[in-house]
Amino acid sequence: MRYEVVIGLEVHAQLTTRTKMFCGCPTSFGAAPNTQTCPVCQGMPGTLPVLNRRAVEYGTRTALAFECRINPGCRFARKHYYYPDMPKNFQISQYEEPLAEDGALDVDLLGGETRRIGIQRLHLEEDVGKLVHEGTLETAQASLVDYNRAGVPLMETVSRPEIRSPEEAAAYLRAFRAVLVYLGVNDGNMEEGSLRCDANISLKPAGARELGTKVEIKNLNSFRNVQRALEFEVKRQTDALARGERIVQETRLWDADGGSTRSMRSKEYAHDYRYFPEPDLVPLKLERAWVEEIRAALPELPRARRQRFVSELGLPPYDAGVLTQSRALAEYYESAVREFPQPKLVSNWVMSELLRELPADDERAIAEAPITPSRLAGLLRLIDDGTISGKIAKTVFEKMLATREEASAIVRREGLTQVADAAALEALVEAAIAGNPRAVDDFRKGKTAAAKALVGQVMKASGGKANPAMVSKLVEEKLTKS
């Protein structure tokens, strides 16, 4: 029997607010354990949560970008379970009344097809702390708790089960991440855990309406792992079904080293989260005007930008795709084009030179690139006006990376200017002709290639700095005249 794959993704994204969801502690990553905590995020007796307005703004911004319906009134709820990384033994989350519902994300697939994946809901919640076990979880004699992350704002976005393959899941995540990073609400860093993904996957007989039994996979910390884990699961489930086995509804952990998923230890009892409305927070009412303000300030999203790069700048779709991988890169490219309006040439330089040095999706690295867009434009202008050759330009680019100087400064200091002075070149050409009578003879006998040898001589004599086009023109003139 042929099976169809059904995948839904839940993504937890840390919001890039300066402070935590319900207290004023900083959210920055990597501080010494428990130094970014206060009585509130440590869940001390008597403390109360106060909602971070910026977190709501970021959530709303994202919901609008995903074309969700923003609920005019939403509530926070307490989700209860005992775990030492959670100071209160409940998490303040949203349950029945999430911030937003019913949106979608358009995902462009490699083959050129576009898939619209529904987004079921988007809600806000607080992150939990981190346990550090002395040894493995099973053998540790003690575990340490770091509450620095406890209370960091999280946005959970649940897709509809409309993703049809592991590749689509990875494409969805890439598009999702790009939107968040464009919006400036998340730093997109999966390795540091600021973007975390759980996947639900089931198989059903081709054409069947009813969904199969779903399995949840956790611990997916990169796009590649999401795809690999899902590929593994598709095979595991297909094989199991082929053997006539039933799929067990369970949570499985992805083991990236082993390249497989394994069942999490069976829980002693099923979780009953005992949700109820958080009595320490008043219901959240989003003013329409505020939501409209956020909508009006939405930046151009990656997909729209990609399309514009093709239609307005005439870039090939491949280039447009590469250049819109991050907001910083797209902005880099556009400002370079503003100063040097030859889009394809700029694209070539960004893709082949800049991206050899910097990862396209590293917002910070791109934004802080040693060669600014305006310096790149300056370099391209030097090629364009014939001051330097394309080959020399690559050398200049390397030096610019190291010294953060303007191209012109390097060219001037190092004497890399092409010799384009006709008089100076004429002398070199005449010297070459005088020194190579055989080549001159050959040319006159009809061996036009002999001119090329003369041009090479001149270029060599100029130390590579002569303008090759001018040299060949001069050589031809001299040979035909005399």
Partner 1 sequence: MDLHRPIHELTAAFSRGETSPTAVTEAYLGRIEKLDGKLGAYITVTAEQARAAAAAADRRYRAGSPLGPLDGVPVSIKDVFCTRGVPTTSGSRILERYVPPYDATLVSRLAAGGAVMLGKGNLDEFAMGSSTEHSAFHVTRNPWDLARVPGGSSGGPAAAVAGGLAAGGYGTDTGGSIRQPAAFCGVVGLKPTFGRISRFGLIAFASSLDHPGPFGLDVTDAALLLGGVAGHDSLDATSIPAPVPDYTADLARGVRGVRLGVPDEYFIPGMDPEIEAAVRAAVEVLKGLGASVERVSLPATPHALATYYVIAPAEASSNLARYDGVKYGLRVPGRDLVDMESRTRAAGFGAEVKRRIMLGTYVLSAGYYDAYYGQAQKVRTLVRRDFDAAFGRVDLIVAPTTPNVAFKHGDKEDPVQMYLNDVFTIPADMAGIPAISVPCGFTAGGLPIGLQLIGKALDEPGVLRAAYAYEQATDWHRRHPELA
Interface ranges with partner 1 (CB under 8 A): 39, 42-51, 78, 80, 82, 84, 87-90, 143, 145, 272, 274-276, 279-282
- Closest Cα to residue 239, out of 260, 221, 224, 223? 260
Q: Give, to the nearest 10 degrees, the angle between helix 327-339 and helix 302-311.
A: 30
In this structure, how many other beta carbons lie within 10 angstroms of the beta carbon of residue 125?
21
Q: Report the residue number, 80 or 473, with the smaller CB distance to partner 1.
A: 80
- Closest Cα to residue 429, out of 397, 456, 464, 402? 456
Q: To the nearest 10°, report the CA torsion of 217, 219, 223, 224.
A: -90
Query: What is the distance between the alpha carbons of residues 129 and 87, in angstroms, rounded to a whole number?
Result: 8
Q: Report the residue number, 33 or 184, with the smaller CB distance to partner 1.
A: 33
Q: Report the residue number, 265 or 344, with the smaller CB distance to partner 1.
A: 265
Q: Report the residue number, 57 or 108, with the smaller CB distance to partner 1.
A: 57
Q: Report the residue number, 205 or 283, with the smaller CB distance to partner 1.
A: 283
Closest contact distance (angstroms) between CB of 21 and partner 1 is 12
Closest contact distance (angstroms) between CB of 356 and partner 1 is 50
Closest contact distance (angstroms) between CB of 72 and partner 1 is 19
Closest contact distance (angstroms) between CB of 272 and partner 1 is 5
Cβ atoms of residues 181 and 52 within 8 Å? no
Q: Cα angle vertex 35, ends 32, 39, to 5°? A: 155
Closest contact distance (angstroms) between CB of 287 and partner 1 is 17
Cβ atoms of residues 183 and 305 within 8 Å? no
Closest contact distance (angstroms) between CB of 150 and partner 1 is 11
Contacts of 118 (CB under 8 A, 6+ apart): 102, 103, 104, 159, 160, 162
Q: Report the residue number, 2 or 269, with the smaller CB distance to partner 1.
A: 269
Closest contact distance (angstroms) between CB of 351 and partner 1 is 50
Q: Report the residue number, 89 or 348, with the smaller CB distance to partner 1.
A: 89
3-state DSSP assignment of residue 363: helix
Measured in whole angstroms, how far is the alpha carbon of residue 452 from the centre of its chain? 48
Q: In the chain, how long is the greatest CA-to-CA distance?
A: 102
